[in-house]
Amino acid sequence: MSGSTFGNIFRVTTWGESHGPGLGVVVDGCPAGLSLSETDIQLFLDRRRPGQSRFTTARKEPDQVEILSGVFEGRTTGTPISMLVRNQDARSRDYGNLAQAYRPGHADYSFDAKYGFRDYRGGGRSSGRETLARVAAGAVAGKILNVLGIHLCAYIQSIGPVKIQTFDSEQIRQNPLCMPDAEAAAKAQDYLEQCRERQDSAGSVVECIIRNCPPGIGDPVFEKLDANLAKAIMSIGAVKAVEIGDGTKSAYSCGSQNNDGFFYGEDGRLEKTSNHAGGILGGISDGSHILLRTYIKPTPSISQPQATAGKNGENITLEIKGRHDPVIGPRAVVVIESMASIVLVDALLGGMSARMEYLEKIWRSR
C-alpha cells in the first residue's frame, strides 16, 4: 500500500492495523544529538490514549511505546527511529457482522472498491487507531521544536452547538474535552450525554496556535507551508475541512479589511497590525502566530439502526456494536499538534538550503 509516508526530509512512515499485533512508525531524517527517551514519547501517547473518560472509547489500551532503533544513550543517532506500540485490548469479535456490510460514514466501501479486500476489524488501516503512530512521530518533532523555542497549543473550540467564550490554557488539560473554557466544557458534556441517550455522536472544531515560528519557513509554490499543513491535517481520519487564519471568512471580506498592515516595533522588529492571514503569506511564515482550525465530523460509529448495503447486493439495516468515541475532537487534539509539528520540522530542515549563507554558517564553522 502506498501513501503511508509523509514528509520530504523529516519523513514519517506509519504501519499496522487497529486489530493486528500492533502499530508503529519509522521516523527518518531526525538530526543526531536530540535528547529523546520513551518517556518523551509516552507523554504524547497518554494524551491520545483511549478509555480515560466516559467521552472516549472504552477500549483499554496502555499504548506503551517501545523505541527499537535510532536512539543510543538517550540521544538520537541520526539513523531511522523505529517505534512500536502493541495492541492489547482488541475485540475483533465485535466486528464479525461487518465482514459483509458497509458501515455508513466509514471507508469500508471505498476501501473495498480500491483493493477488493479489506480488514473489517475496526477498519484496519482506516481506523482512527492509526493516529497513535503519528503522535509518536509528532513527539519527536515536538522535541526539536521545543529546542528552537517554537510551541504549539491545540484545544477544542466547539463541540456540536457549544462554543468556547473564554480562554484559559490551564483548563485544556483539566477537563476531558480539552476545552479552555470550564463553563463551555460543562455544557458540552451535557450535550454529549444527550447524544449518548439518542445513541448518536457529535462533531467538533479544533484550533491550534503555533507560537514563535520564525518568518521565512515554507516555499511559494507546491511546498507552501499552509498547503502542507492542510494536507497533513486533512490526512487525519474524520477531518472534513481546514482553515488558516480567517479561513472562509476571508471570502466575505474586503481587501481593506483582510490585509494585515506592517510596522516596526520598539525593538526594531517587523510586526503586523493584525493577523487575518493566520501567520502565513504566499505559503511562507511571516513571523506571526500561525492559527489552524480543523473541522471534524461526528463519529460515524453509532448504535442507531442505519440503512446500508451488503457486499452480496442486499439492502440491510445495520446496528454497529463495539466501543467508540461519542466525539472525536478531544483525542484528535494531540494528533493535530503532532501532524503540524511534523510539517514544521520538515519545513525548517528544508529551509536550511534556501541561502548560500546558511550553508556557509554550517560548513565553514567545522
The model's pLDDT over 199-249, given as tens digits with 9 standing for 90+, comes to 899 999 999 999 999 999 999 999 999 999 999 999 999 999 999 999 999
What is the SS3 assignment for 67? Answer: strand
Residue 103 pLDDT grade (very low, low, confident, very high; cuts 50, 70, 90) = confident
Q: Where are the chain's structural domains? A: 5-363
- The percent of residues above 70 in pLDDT, for the chain, comes to 93
Asked if pLDDT for residue 59 goes beyond 70, the answer is no
Q: What is the pTM of this model?
A: 0.92
Which one of 1.20.120.530, 3.30.70.360, 3.60.150.10, 2.60.40.290 gives the CATH number of domain 5-363?
3.60.150.10
- Check if the beta carbon of residue 225 is closer than 8 Å to that of residue 347: yes
Asked if pLDDT for residue 123 goes beyond 80, the answer is no
Mean of pLDDT values over 130-137: 96
Q: What is the pLDDT of residue 119?
A: 77
Mean of pLDDT values over 94-115: 80
Q: What is the pLDDT of residue 301?
A: 86
- The percent of residues above 90 in pLDDT, for the chain, comes to 72
The model's pLDDT over 252-283, given as tens digits with 9 standing for 90+, comes to 999 999 999 999 999 999 999 999 999 999 99
Q: What is the pLDDT of residue 147?
A: 97
Q: What is the pLDDT of residue 338?
A: 98
Between 26-40, 87-101, 313-327, the lowest mean confidence (pLDDT) is in 87-101
Q: What is the mean pLDDT of the chain?
A: 91
Between 290 and 318, whose confidence is greater?
Answer: 290
Looking at this protein, which amino acid is placed at residue 312?
N
Mean of pLDDT values over 119-145: 90
Mean of pLDDT values over 20-46: 96
Q: What is the pLDDT of residue 364?
A: 86
Task: Please give the Cα distance from 55 to 177 (Å, whole number).
Answer: 8
DSSP conformation letters of 248-273: GGGGGS-HHHHPPPEEE-TTS-EEES
Q: What is the pLDDT of residue 57?
A: 59
**Residue ranges with strand state E in the chain:** 5-6, 11-16, 22-28, 65-69, 71-72, 75-76, 81-86, 151-159, 162-163, 204-211, 239-244, 262-264, 270-272, 280-281, 284-285, 290-296, 306-309, 315-318
Task: Please give the Cα distance from 70 to 142 (Å, whole number).
Answer: 17
Task: Please give the Cα distance from 230 to 215 (Å, whole number).
Answer: 19
Q: What is the pLDDT of residue 100?
A: 77
Asked if pLDDT for residue 14 goes beyond 90, the answer is yes
